[in-house]
Chain A
Amino acid sequence: MIASILKQITFILLILFLGINFLKLLRLKAGLAEKLSSGFMLGIGFSTFGLFLLGFVGYKFNFQNILFFLIGANVLLTLLNLMLKNKYSLDIFSVVGFFKKLDLLEKVLVGGIVFFLLTSLIRNLYWPIWMWDAVQMYDYRAKLIVESQSIFFPAQSYYDISYPLLTSLLHSILYVAGSTNPQYVYTLVFFALIMGVYAFVRKYSSRKFAIVASFAVSSFPLVYQHSIQPLTNLTHSTFLILGVFYLIIWLSKDKSKDFFVATLLFSFARFTRNEPVWMAVFAFMIIYLLIKRKLLKGKNVLYLLVFFAINYIVGFVVIKYNQWYRLTPNKFFTDQFGFVEQFVLSLGNINLSWLLDPLVMIFRSLIWEVFILILFIIMIFFKSSRRIFKGEVFLLSCFLSWYLFVLFLGSLFYRVISKDVEFKALSGSLERFGIVWQVLVFVLFFLVLYGFLGEKKYGKKI
């Protein structure tokens, strides 16, 4: 039992260090909160995708091999960092100082965050994996991977391989370390999301505001509920949310480091759920740079190509993996843009009254947030000369509007190609998009509120 716990802690720490080492390699000035959020999520992405790629050449999925891979990757990155003279600091000790500085309100709010994290952890440790999709697929194939020591586990139907492997591989890593219930890893993802929101809001506002924003996010029913569900939703959303944060920083400040982190986070989101969100982000980048007349300036075209290539490659590898099984039912699943073809083929079914269905569905799922966003947009137009009209706030508002628009288009597309019963099931998918939407709207909310209340403080570490 103790040996198993120690093995799991070792793996989790190695995954975290992998991400932190990468951030260090990029020389990204990150505080502890940012390291714990982006570092952990990047670590998850690198370790699962790395093991997945190695699995193609027959690398066995067992304890020694995983340990060797994680230590090897960490040693390599550490050596590179030392060669580049990137300094390491033990900022974990700054946590004590941080807590000492908090006032009563901040302590209460941090206590609230700890309460939600602890209850999430206790619930994850107590309840077995019981969510339908996890039992029948995500977790089940993790057990098969461990059993067969290979990513090419004995799949029985297309359903078994229809979703990318990130969360299953994460379960597998913990199973290999002796875990009987790897569900607790979603509490760590929940923690990474809270820390990510803190780190981003803190860049532009006071500590109090950042803590209030993190507390608000930790208390979102949708986010909290998904922290105790061993599905892909929270992990996918966390990758996207953190990706959007870095994207906004890159677009407003032209920092290439942030661009690379954003690109990797979006591609790991794709390795969690193979959905065309990255295309929406790609289109947003092009439109924004075009409007700002920056598309052909500097290395922006190169950046766009890199973004496209990395995301395309992740999707390509996932599709190649699916093809290995020869279970793929039709071209739709073998072509990254095949959904366009499916849409064109279904155009004959279009019924104008269907326009209402997606609207109603989105409004039901995102009602409060839609209202708040509309309010923001009005405010931003009316107060354009004031200090809230800053790059990041404007960018985030544009991104959220674009996201809503794409969500509507996507729902409309789904309305066209699906049956009535299938379309009703879309509310589940909208729930997943709702996490991203809610968190980002709330971050925007806090930035605007802070813009009203005081001057912005840029680039401040915690």
Chain B
Amino acid sequence: MKNEHFKKVLVINKIVFPYLIGLTYFFLLLESYMYIGFLRRFFLVDSRFFLVLSIISIFLVFYQRLQDKSYKEGDLEKLVINFNSVLFLPLLILYIIMEVSNAKNYANYVFATYHIQPQNFINIVYLSFALFLLKVDFFFTKEQAVSIFRKLGFWSFSESEMIRESLRETGKMTKDATSLLGRNIVLAVLFFLLFFYFMNNLAATFKDAFSDLVFILSHPDYSYDQKMQLKWGLFYKVIALVRDNTSEGSYILLPYESAPHSVDARKEYWRPFLGNRKIENFYSGVNIKDFDYVLIAKGYFHSVYDGPPKKDYIWPDFSVSSDEIIYLIREEGGNYVQKVVNEDYNPDNFRTKDVWGIIKIKK
């Protein structure tokens, strides 16, 4: 009986298959253009749900094609599969181009320029790849494919035949046939879980390895500072500014290590880059004249510990008699530019600006 139900599922799947694939393609394209979760706002599920459904559907069609010797493709099904086999390579190349462009420029370049999100677009490539497997005759003859599956033991055809035989002869399942059916069902569940989890991992790791490899190959000559700036962002720029504009052996004052300076006041982050310069955190009663430099810090690098940033905040919040102030200031385009002024430090001049720098104390 169960076998008949399964046959019904296969028939329904065959009818639904081309429409489901078309719909999934559409949804995946839509979310590549918009964002993951766009669909969820209207249908309560996102496009990846349809992707999983489509892959299950492809798997069932694949099974049906191998199992049924007289299997005949529907017109729409044929159209979808053939159309996809033309699309697969261009889609893959397009995805690679997007990743290369991102690596060559900056992380969000493709989305910022063309409004397409490669991380969502990859799902279209997965779907196309899964569909491409239905062109099994492209790789093997049907007999070869059946033989491979038998060898792998994913589904034993002779055993399935035995179950069917037992049903035909006695009208009910024999003990052996029940046991075999149970084994095959457990096996199918295990295989599906393994496949799903495996593909999920493989895709994520491959994407990670591939995109970084593209970046490395397109930037082989990056310096240590450039690489560190990519990883640490603005904070490393500030560290480099301090390192390049303070003398060896000098004494530098950092803010007190607490919110909003949980990152920039942490001495452990500075010391690997500052050689034999001495660093100290601010404490009450500190004598500024003991130091050679004082850090100018906006703070708020760590949202969890520092809370949301305040616009009218700067450290030091007291005046400092200084020879020179070297600082990075954020301009309207979002870039930081370096400036030098020879004047005393007054916090009111910096409070409302996004500024990081170093004050050279007047001795």
* Physical interaction between A and B: yes
User: Using a CB–CB distance below 8 Å, which chain A residues touch chain B?
Assistant: 115-116, 119-120, 122-123, 126-128, 130, 132, 135-137, 139-140, 143, 156-157, 159, 216, 219-221, 224-225, 368, 372, 375, 379, 383, 421, 424, 445, 448-449, 452-454
**How far does the alpha carbon of A224 sit from the alpha carbon of B153 in the complex, in Å?**
29
CB of B266 closer than 8 Å to a CB of A: yes
Q: Using a CB-CB cutoff of 8 Å, which residues 189-221 of chain B contact chain A?
A: 189-191, 193-194, 197-198, 201-202, 204-206, 208-210, 212-213, 216
CB distance from B81 to the nearest CB of A (A): 24
Q: Using a CB-CB cutoff of 8 Å, which residues 213-266 of chain B contact chain A?
A: 213, 216, 224, 227-228, 231-232, 266
Which residue of the partner chain A has the closest CB to B199?
A219
Given A122-B216, A128-B228, A220-B201, A135 and B190 touching (CB < 8 A)? no
Chain A residue numbers with a CB within 8 Å of B201 are 216, 219-221
**How far does the alpha carbon of A58 sit from the alpha carbon of B232 in the complex, in Å?**
38
Given A130-B227, A225-B208, A421-B304, 14 more pairs with CB closer than 8 A = A116-B205, A119-B209, A123-B213, A126-B227, A127-B231, A135-B269, A224-B205, A224-B208, A224-B209, A448-B190, A449-B187, A449-B191, A452-B187, A453-B153
CB distance from A25 to the nearest CB of B (A): 37
What are 13 A-B interface contacts by the 8 Å CB criterion? A119-B210, A123-B212, A128-B227, A136-B271, A156-B271, A219-B202, A221-B208, A224-B209, A225-B208, A375-B189, A375-B190, A424-B304, A454-B153
**How far does the alpha carbon of A122 sit from the alpha carbon of B187 in the complex, in Å?**
39
CB of B267 closer than 8 Å to a CB of A: yes
A-B CB pair tally, cutoff 8 Å: 85
CB–CB A122/B189 < 8 A: no
CB–CB A135/B194 < 8 A: no
CB of B78 closer than 8 Å to a CB of A: no
Which residue of the partner chain B has the closest CB to A120?
B209
**Closest 4 A-B residue pairs measured CB to CB?**
A136-B268, A119-B209, A130-B231, A221-B204
Chain B residue numbers with a CB within 8 Å of A216 are 198, 201
CB–CB A119/B213 < 8 A: yes
**How far does the alpha carbon of A375 sit from the alpha carbon of B193 in the complex, in Å?**
10
Chain A residue numbers with a CB within 8 Å of B210 are 119
**How far does the alpha carbon of A127 sit from the alpha carbon of B220 in the complex, in Å?**
11
Which residue of the partner chain A has the closest CB to B236?
A130
**How far does the alpha carbon of A130 sit from the alpha carbon of B224 in the complex, in Å?**
10
Chain A residue numbers with a CB within 8 Å of B197 are 368, 372
CB–CB B268/A140 < 8 A: yes
**How far does the alpha carbon of A135 sit from the alpha carbon of B267 in the complex, in Å?**
12
CB–CB A126/B194 < 8 A: no
Q: Using a CB-CB cutoff of 8 Å, which residues 165-207 of chain B contact chain A?
A: 183, 186-187, 189-191, 193-194, 197-198, 201-202, 204-206
**How far does the alpha carbon of A164 sit from the alpha carbon of B258 in the complex, in Å?**
27
Mostly, the A contact residues are helix
CB of B333 closer than 8 Å to a CB of A: no
**How far does the alpha carbon of A350 sit from the alpha carbon of B170 in the complex, in Å?**
63
Given A130-B228, A221-B201, A122 and B190 touching (CB < 8 A)? no
CB–CB A136/B266 < 8 A: yes
CB distance from A421 to the nearest CB of B (A): 6
CB of B334 closer than 8 Å to a CB of A: no
CB–CB A130/B232 < 8 A: yes
Flag B286-315 by CB within 8 Å of A: 1 or 0 each. Answer: 000000000000000000110000000000
**How far does the alpha carbon of A122 sit from the alpha carbon of B231 in the complex, in Å?**
17
CB of B285 closer than 8 Å to a CB of A: no
CB distance from B220 to the nearest CB of A (A): 8
**How far does the alpha carbon of A221 sit from the alpha carbon of B197 in the complex, in Å?**
11
Chain B residue numbers with a CB within 8 Å of A449 are 187, 190-191, 194
**How far does the alpha carbon of A122 sit from the alpha carbon of B204 in the complex, in Å?**
18
**How far does the alpha carbon of A231 sit from the alpha carbon of B329 in the complex, in Å?**
34
Query: Interface centre among B208, B266, B269, by most A CB within 10 Å?
Result: B208
Flag B4-46 by CB within 8 Å of A: 1 or 0 each. Answer: 0000000000000000000000000000000000000000000
Given A159-B268, A220-B205, A225-B208, A452 and B190 touching (CB < 8 A)? yes
CB–CB A119/B212 < 8 A: yes
Which residue of the partner chain A has the closest CB to B222?
A126
**How far does the alpha carbon of A383 sit from the alpha carbon of B182 in the complex, in Å?**
10
**How far does the alpha carbon of A372 sit from the alpha carbon of B216 in the complex, in Å?**
37
Q: Using a CB-CB cutoff of 8 Å, which residues 150-164 of chain B contact chain A?
A: 153
Chain B residue numbers with a CB within 8 Å of A379 are 186
Query: Interface centre among B197, B216, B231, by most A CB within 10 Å?
Result: B197
Chain B residue numbers with a CB within 8 Å of A220 are 201, 205
**How far does the alpha carbon of A453 sit from the alpha carbon of B209 in the complex, in Å?**
33
**How far does the alpha carbon of A122 sit from the alpha carbon of B197 in the complex, in Å?**
26
Chain A residue numbers with a CB within 8 Å of B209 are 115-116, 119-120, 123, 224
